[in-house]
């Protein structure tokens, strides 16, 4: 371990990192590890969608003319495919919009402006309200709360999900806490999978707020990176059994299954929540894009079709994750300068560097042409109090670019880390 090294050895390591860094600076790199976007070859896998549903094919299974208005719930055949994937009964699962983020944003707007089932007042009339934000988490979740002035309370994410001791205590005592963000499988950015016990506790815990909601963003439900198809417990089923059916809002989408810009979003919840949602949605829309839903149903066929399609994604992005982990191990293993997650699915790896170093690492990488997600993005208001978390998104760059970028990132970690260690001596 280099943590035991004296000043002379550390200076030698720093000099070597500086040399590597200036060599990289001379290369004029232009690499981007920022967003978790599918690469073009992943999008190619769904290109058949561009020809579907096909000329003069516009009837849904029940005879609905998909070209016309109506059908607020979304097409039954597509909802049937995704009901088992998202663990929601078909009748309680809606297909809507082109992605899930807009549905999450809508959920906040509707809950602010229209009384939720179980609520005494609309959220907007309840004074300052709060949300629990497991950290590290997804920046776009946090931006929604930020936009509406909803205070976020960070809760540490453990290996089995949010720290439930903290969650259960806070929600039991504070009625202004209206909900919690949750990415239960292959979480963004750590790859965390919620344990069955965590899911059970979320379903059963007493909450001071009668209108508490779990925003269950199952964005990576089928996005496996190993042979193991990790399963999680059924939150909606468990909450319903515990008498808390209304506390669950399930979200999902085909963004990282088919086309990220032209997919389908899903919203699942209790019967009362669905009724509430549809009554509000009915003011906003006369129906979703059913042609897109029909082409998705035709293309995917059934849940097994979804799983088979995801295997093709895995074949493309698995090697990118493998390479990232290999390079991090080769370059940073044993240095004591970083730890990283080894996700079994999803789109991200979290790199944790010594406290106070993440901003500097990201800045140094930018100087040599490697753009990373800003340090802090994984925390509410963009503020990581330890300044130590960096999100790596390996999917979008080519294999060659990715490997170059991770090498460069590791060099920056050594540069900043050894500099800090020398200063602290
Ligand atoms: N939730 C999570 C956890 C995500 O990582 C992403 C995409 N990065 C989204 C939602 C966005 O999903 P959609 O494309 O369905 O809006």
Q: Which domains can be identified in the chain, with CATH numbers?
A: 2-32+307-424 (3.90.1150.10), 57-301 (3.40.640.10)
222: nearest Cα among 102, 82, 396: 82
Mutate to test the pocket of ligand 1, among 35, 106, 138 (most ligand atoms within 8 A of CB): 138
Q: Are 250 and 87 in contact (CB under 8 A)?
A: yes
Q: Are 369 and 33 in contact (CB under 8 A)?
A: no
Rounded-to-integer distance, Cα 169 and Cα 178, Å: 14
224: nearest Cα among 334, 321, 326, 84: 321
pLDDT of residue 2: 57
CA atoms within a 13 Å half-sphere pointing along the CA-CB vector of 71: 26
Which of ligand 1's atoms lies nearest the C-alpha of 255?
14
Helix (H) or strand (E) holding 226: none
**Average pLDDT over every residue of 169-176:** 98
Which of ligand 1's atoms lies nearest the C-alpha of 100?
15
Rounded-to-integer distance, Cα 407 and Cα 328, Å: 8
Q: Are 10 and 2 in contact (CB under 8 A)?
A: yes
pLDDT of residue 171: 98
pLDDT of residue 5: 84
Which residue's CA is the closest to the ligand 1 atom numbered 11?
101
**Average pLDDT over every residue of 117-138:** 97
Hey, is 334 helix, strand or coil?
coil
Q: Are 39 and 398 in contact (CB under 8 A)?
A: yes
Q: Give the phi and the psi of residue 357 in degrees, each rounded to 5.
A: -110, -20
**Average pLDDT over every residue of 185-200:** 98
Taking each helix axis from N to C end, the angle separating 271-284 and 101-113, rounded to the nearest 10 degrees, works out to 90
Which of ligand 1's atoms lies nearest the C-alpha of 253?
15
Taking each helix axis from N to C end, the angle separating 399-424 and 303-332, rounded to the nearest 10 degrees, works out to 40
For residue 105, the CA-to-ligand 1 centroid distance in Å is 12
Give how far Cα 408 sits from Cα of 36, 328, 404, Å. Answer: 19, 10, 6
Whether the pLDDT of residue 385 is over 90: the answer is yes
For residue 100, the CA-to-ligand 1 centroid distance in Å is 7
* Helical ranges in 136-270 per DSSP H: 139-147, 164-173, 196-204, 235-241
95: its two tokens: 């297909």
Rounded-to-integer distance, Cα 336 and Cα 414, Å: 10
pTM of the model: 0.97
Helix (H) or strand (E) holding 178: strand 177-182
Q: Are 107 and 144 in contact (CB under 8 A)?
A: no
Q: Give the phi and the psi of residue 31 in degrees, each rounded to 5.
A: -125, 150
Whether the pLDDT of residue 400 is over 80: the answer is yes
ipTM score of the complex?
0.99
Binding-site residues, ligand 1, Cβ < 6 A: 36, 99-101, 138, 183, 188, 217, 219, 253, 255, 260, 265
């Amino acid at each position: 371990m280099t943590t035991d090294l004296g000043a002379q050895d550390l200076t030698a390591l720093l000099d070597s990192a500086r040399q590597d860094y200036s060599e990289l600076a001379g290369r004029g790199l232009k690499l981007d590890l920022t967003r978790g976007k599918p690469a073009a070859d992943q999008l190619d896998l769904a290109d058949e969608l561009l020809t579907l549903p096909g000329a003069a094919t516009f009837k849904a299974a029940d005879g609905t003319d998909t070209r016309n208005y109506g059908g607020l719930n979304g097409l039954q055949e597509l909802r049937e495919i995704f009901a088992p994937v998202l663990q929601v009964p078909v009748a309680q699962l809606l297909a809507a919009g082109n992605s899930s983020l807009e549905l999450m944003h809508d959920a906040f707007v509707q809950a602010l402006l229209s009384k939720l089932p179980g609520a005494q007042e609309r959220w907007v009339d309840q004074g300052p309200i709060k949300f629990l934000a497991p950290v590290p988490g997804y920046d776009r979740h946090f931006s929604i709360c930020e936009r509406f002035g909803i205070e976020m309370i960070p809760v540490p994410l453990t290996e089995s999900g949010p720290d439930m001791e903290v969650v259960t205590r806070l929600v039991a005592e504070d009625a202004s806490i209206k909900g919690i963000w949750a990415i239960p499988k292959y979480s963004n950015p750590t790859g965390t999978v919620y344990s069955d016990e965590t899911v059970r506790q979320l379903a059963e815990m007493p909450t001071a707020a009668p209108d508490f909601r779990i925003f269950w963003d199952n964005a990576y439900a089928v996005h496996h990176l190993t042979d193991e198809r990790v399963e999680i417990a059924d939150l909606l089923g468990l909450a319903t059994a515990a008498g808390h059916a209304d506390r669950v809002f399930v979200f999902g989408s085909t963004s990282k299954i088919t086309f990220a810009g032209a997919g389908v979003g899903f919203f699942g919840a209790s019967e009362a929540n669905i009724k509430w949602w549809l009554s509000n949605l009915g003011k906003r829309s006369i129906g979703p894009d059913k042609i897109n839903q029909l082409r998705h149903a035709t293309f995917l066929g059934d849940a097994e079709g979804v799983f088979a399609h995801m295997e093709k994604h895995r074949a493309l992005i698995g090697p990118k994750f493998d390479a990232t982990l290999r390079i991090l191990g080769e370059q940073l293993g044993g240095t004591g300068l970083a730890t990283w997650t080894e996700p079994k699915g999803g789109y991200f790896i979290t790199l944790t560097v010594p406290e106070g170093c993440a901003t500097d690492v990201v800045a140094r990488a930018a100087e040599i042409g490697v753009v990373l997600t800003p340090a802090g993005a994984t925390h509410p208001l963009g503020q990581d109090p330890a300044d130590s978390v960096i999100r790596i998104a390996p999917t979008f760059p080519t294999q060659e670019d990715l490997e170059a970028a991770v090498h460069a990132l590791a060099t920056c970690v050594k540069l900043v880390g050894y500099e800090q260690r020398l200063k602290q001596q």
